[in-house]
Amino acid sequence: MSDQSNINDVLAEIEKVAIHTQQGSVVKVEDVRRLTAKLKQEVEESKRPEIPYRMTPEKARQAIRRDEELMKQFPTTPREPTRSISAQEPQPQSSA
């Protein structure tokens, strides 16, 4: 609540629940607690859609491949086949 606009918003909400008399305004502590809890919950709910859920790298790759707009950023050039490299060590040539 260090943001000045948030403080002004909270004060405006507190003034709505305050009891106004000739001698001044009175606010119950429980009203302030209830109000701050309500505002905190609203802020948390507004943040939820921005935070992605945790996923495995493979699921992330699949999600990217399904997203057509995102895939437009990647080149679609097909890979050319190349010569394969043997995984075995070369055998000495024997002469018969």
pLDDT of residue 3: 55
Phi first, then psi: what are they for 49, rounded to 5°?
-65, -25
Site of tokens 């950023």: 73
Provide the whole-model pTM. Answer: 0.41
| Three state DSSP letters for 52-87 | CCCCCHHHHHHHHHHCHHHHCCCCCCCCCCCCCCCC
User: How confident is the model over 4-62, as pLDDT tens digits?
Assistant: 567 888 888 888 889 998 999 898 999 889 888 888 888 888 776 666 678 888 888 88
User: How confident is the model over 60-94, as pLDDT tens digits?
Assistant: 888 888 888 888 887 777 777 777 777 777 777 76
Neighbours of 46 (CB within 10 A): 9
Indicate the pLDDT class of residue 2, thresholds 50, 70 and 90. Answer: very low
